[in-house]
Amino acid sequence: MAPSAARSTTGGERGRRAEILRLLRANKDGLGVAEVADRLDIHVNTARFHLQELVRRGQVSVLESSVGRPGRPAQIFCPVSGMDPRGIRDYQALAAALVSSVAAGPRSQHRAIEAGRSWGRRHAQSTPGKRAKSGAAAVIRLIGVLEDLGFAPDPLQRNAEGQQIALRSCPFLELALEHRDVVCPIHLGLMRGALESWDAPVTVARLEPFRQLDLCLAHLAPAEVQE
């Protein structure tokens, strides 16, 4: 099947399921397969297919009723209360709105770092153990957090500039490219907050965004050193 035809078919299926949902919501006591097919003038098998898909998605529940019907109980389909759990999500648009709001306010970088610090503390609390026994142990835990969040960190590096963690991916790349002055400080605060939660003797003194096209550098230092 050609791509355009496949898209059309998929869109048609979504439209049909939305139509069935509207019908069920207008009939709170539920309807059987044959009733849905009759009211929408579609084949019983088509109605059954879409109803089963709605059940699988958690949007419709199934009851069995033997009232007035001898033999095997009939299936009655009812809409599940609440918003569609499989509906469209657009968290990037929400994140962009929040970042734009921070960027437009006073002391945007400071507020961004503090927001990231709170995020880091919350995330660190979900990891086992409270206090880091050493700076090396804290850095290992921080690298694990960054890995979980999608930053693709390299192992700790040591060179003439000191100790660094290389970040090879940015889970918020599009936002970071447009609002580097806010997104990157959030990431800096994230790392600082996590380390602070573990009472680590080390911190991230500064974050060097996009030192290379595929590389950001988190520069480590004793905890009392911050830029």
Q: Per-10-residue mean pLDDT for the chain, 227 residues long?
A: 42 83 90 94 94 91 70 82 74 87 90 95 78 84 93 89 93 92 96 94 95 94 76
**Tokens read off for 183:** 């997104």
Q: For CA atoms 3, 9, 12, 16, give the dihedral sign.
A: negative
Looking at the structure, tell me whether residues 54 and 136 fall in a common domain: no
Mention every residue, 6+ apart, whose C-beta is less than 8 A from residue 140: none
Tell me the HSE value of 213 on the side-chain side, using a 13 A CA sphere.
0
Looking at the structure, tell me whether residues 68 and 136 fall in a common domain: no
Q: Are 23 and 31 in contact (CB under 8 A)?
A: yes
For position 4, what pLDDT does the model report? 40
For position 92, what pLDDT does the model report? 83
Looking at the structure, tell me whether residues 191 and 131 fall in a common domain: yes
For position 71, what pLDDT does the model report? 55
For residue 46, tell me if it sits in a domain.
Answer: yes
For position 66, what pLDDT does the model report? 58
3-class SS of residue 78: strand
For position 37, what pLDDT does the model report? 95
For position 120, what pLDDT does the model report? 94
For position 11, what pLDDT does the model report? 61
For position 129, what pLDDT does the model report? 63
Work out how many domains the chain is built from and give that number: 2
For position 212, what pLDDT does the model report? 92
* CATH code for position 69: 1.10.10.10
